[in-house]
Amino acid sequence: MDARVTRPNDLSGFWMPYTANKAFRERPRMCVSAKDMHYVADDGRLILDGTAALWCVNAGHARPRIVEAVQRQVAELDFAPSFQFGHPKAFTLASRIAQMMPAGLDHVFFANSGSEAVDSALKIALAYHRARGEGQRVRLIGRERGYHGSGFGGTAVGGIVKNRAAFGAQVHPVDHIRHTHLPENRFSRGCPAHGAELADDLERLVALHDASTIAAVIVEPMAGSTGVLLPPQGYLERLRSICDRHGILLIFDEVITAFGRLGAPSGAEFFGVTPDIMTLAKGITNATVPMGAAVVSDEIYRTVTDNGGPLIEFFHGYTYSGHPLACAAALATLETYEEEGLFARTAALAPAWEERIHRLRERRNVVDIRNLGLVGAVELAPREGAPGARGYEAIWRAFDKGLMVRVTGDIIALSPPLIVSEEQVDEMFSTLEAVIDEID
Ligand code: PLP
């Protein structure tokens, strides 16, 4: 497989997202093709995909069923609008997703990314309260160190300071509960034992703002992008019951956790806690075609549609909501997951994954290791006066050694495609050990 291509002379035109642009230009890392567990770099080297790209290529790269479905679809129906018209695959897909997700989450609003899914979910929550005569419930609650994409709504409820700092006042009244990352839980295997009571922080915000002003709480069941922060045992159940007590909607942002990452169709199912609204993206199409979705309870759907306008009930949507290519990709992706039993496979592989990642504990600068399903994080101590420097070094050193990792600050995250073999898991961590050993 020789995929050598000419590197473009000018790398300044593309303003890269969430990227150290200048540093990238000095040391570019280009992928030119991909198959199953590997990328091919522009110098022809195979790069083991340790992160399913951005936690999204769950079934592995360029899977024939998905590729062919998209190819067929583009020739048959390249596009059809979803405003006042429809096409069959969008309805079929919505039903399939509703079947896969926990009972009671029955209606699917399509978007094109996780960010749009989140903004849609937040708007649905606001519209729901208004439709039931509680239009004063406009406050949205996020969580510190949460990531909910880059839309204005998602940025506002997100809890990452750097993502918010440049953008002024944000939108809406928003507040944040505490994150779930406690020092006493270092090196926990799976969900940590301590910290269920952190959910009670929602009671503090209820006391401060009054429940009657709060529309919804949004959390990732397992926070991925901020460095794999796991929910303490019992935390999500407690959050659910506090929301119920105060009539606050609970939104699970499952952009990363749905579609097998934890060994179940959703984090909700894995943790046994059902939200009122769930957001999806990434693994929904195996990342082949962009797609996001907000999945809502029947009660929310009926309340909004029964009390909305006489014709259009909910004034929200995107030109590409339910795009035919995305629907074809998603249907083929869900078939692939099912046919290959990839969620059960993940659950079966998780103990070996846990065992292997925790062997990195004695490596230098390692201050914590976390794991769940096929997700892992190795946290390095920040270099004196240069937080993030060790993490950044890990990205390029790993790439040089043929491994793609994802880094948040000094936390190295791994989340391979769910087709990964045990040998590849070992290769991944052996490479990472070599990388960490090189970083002073
Ligand atoms: N929500 C969560 C939990 C995510 O992890 C992400 C992306 O990583 C998003 C939302 C945003 O998704 P997108 O980048 O597709 O807009």
Locate 118 and state its tokens: 């989140």
Are the C-beta atoms of residues 391 and 202 closer than 8 Å to each other? Answer: no
**pLDDT tens-place string over residues 51-77:** 999 999 999 999 999 999 999 999 999
Locate 350 and state its tokens: 């998780």
pLDDT at residue 172, as a whole number = 75
Atom of ligand 1 nearest to the CA of 225: 5
C-alpha dihedral over 360, 362, 367, 368, to 10 degrees? 40
Give Cβ neighbours of residue 386 (< 8 Å, ≥ 6 apart). Answer: none
pLDDT at residue 377, as a whole number = 98
Confidence of residue 439 (pLDDT cuts 50, 70, 90): very high
Average pLDDT, the chain: 96
At position 125, the amino acid (one-letter code) is A
Ligand 1 pocket test, candidate residues 110, 282, 407, most atoms within 8 A of CB: 282
Are the C-beta atoms of residues 374 and 346 closer than 8 Å to each other? Answer: yes
User: Which residues contact ligand 1 via a Cβ below 6 A?
Assistant: 54, 113-115, 118, 147-149, 220, 224-225, 253, 255-256, 281
pLDDT at residue 3, as a whole number = 47
Q: Angle at the Cα of 348 (from 343 to 349), degrees rounded to 5?
A: 95
Ligand 1 centroid – CA 102 distance (Å): 21
On the question of pLDDT at 157 being above 90, the answer is: yes
On the question of pLDDT at 1 being above 50, the answer is: no
Percent of the chain with pLDDT over 70: 98
Ligand 1 centroid – CA 255 distance (Å): 6
What average pLDDT score do residues 126-141 get?
97
Q: Which of 53, 51, 62, 49 is nearest to 329 (CA)?
A: 62
**pLDDT tens-place string over residues 251-268:** 999 999 999 999 999 999
Atom of ligand 1 nearest to the CA of 224: 5
Locate 221 and state its tokens: 């069941």
**pLDDT tens-place string over residues 80-96:** 999 999 999 999 999 99
Ligand 1 centroid – CA 147 distance (Å): 7
Locate 353 and state its tokens: 């994954």
Ligand 1 centroid – CA 318 distance (Å): 17
**β partners of residue 383:** 386
Give Cβ neighbours of residue 241 (< 8 Å, ≥ 6 apart). Answer: none
Name all domains of the chain by residue range, CATH numbers in brackets: 21-59+341-438 (3.90.1150.10), 67-339 (3.40.640.10)
pLDDT at residue 164, as a whole number = 81
What average pLDDT score do residues 104-128 get?
98
DSSP class per residue in 339-366: HTTHHHHHHHHHHHHHHHHGGGGGSTTE
**pLDDT tens-place string over residues 382-419:** 999 999 999 999 999 999 999 999 999 999 999 999 99
Ligand 1 centroid – CA 250 distance (Å): 18
Starting from the edge strand earliest in sequence, which strands make up the sheet with 366-372, in order? 366-372, 375-380, 411-414, 406-408
Are the C-beta atoms of residues 263 and 347 closer than 8 Å to each other? Answer: yes
| Helix (H) or strand (E) run with residue 221 in it | none
**pLDDT tens-place string over residues 268-327:** 999 999 999 999 999 999 999 999 999 999 999 999 999 987 899 999 999 999 999 999
On the question of pLDDT at 6 being above 80, the answer is: no
Are the C-beta atoms of residues 413 and 228 closer than 8 Å to each other? Answer: yes
pLDDT at residue 310, as a whole number = 84
Angle separating helix axes 64-76 and 324-339, nearest 10 degrees: 150
On the question of pLDDT at 171 being above 80, the answer is: no
Q: How many other β-carbons are positioned within 10 Å of the β-carbon of residue 153?
A: 25
Decide the pairing of beta strands 277-280 and 139-143: unpaired
Q: Which of 90, 89, 121, 118 is nearest to 105 (CA)?
A: 121
Three-class DSSP category at 437: helix
Locate 374 and state its tokens: 């096929």
pLDDT at residue 4, as a whole number = 55
What average pLDDT score do residues 168-197 get?
93
Return the sign of the alpha-carbon dihedral for residues 315, 221, 237, 156. negative
Ligand 1 centroid – CA 393 distance (Å): 24
User: What is the distance of C-alpha 293 from the center of its chain?
Assistant: 12
pLDDT at residue 57, as a whole number = 98
What average pLDDT score do residues 171-199 get?
95
Confidence of residue 5 (pLDDT cuts 50, 70, 90): low
User: What is the distance of C-alpha 416 from the center of its chain?
Assistant: 13
What average pLDDT score do residues 323-347 get?
98
Atom of ligand 1 nearest to the CA of 223: 3
Task: Report the distance separating Cα 131 and Cα 306, nearest Å.
Answer: 8
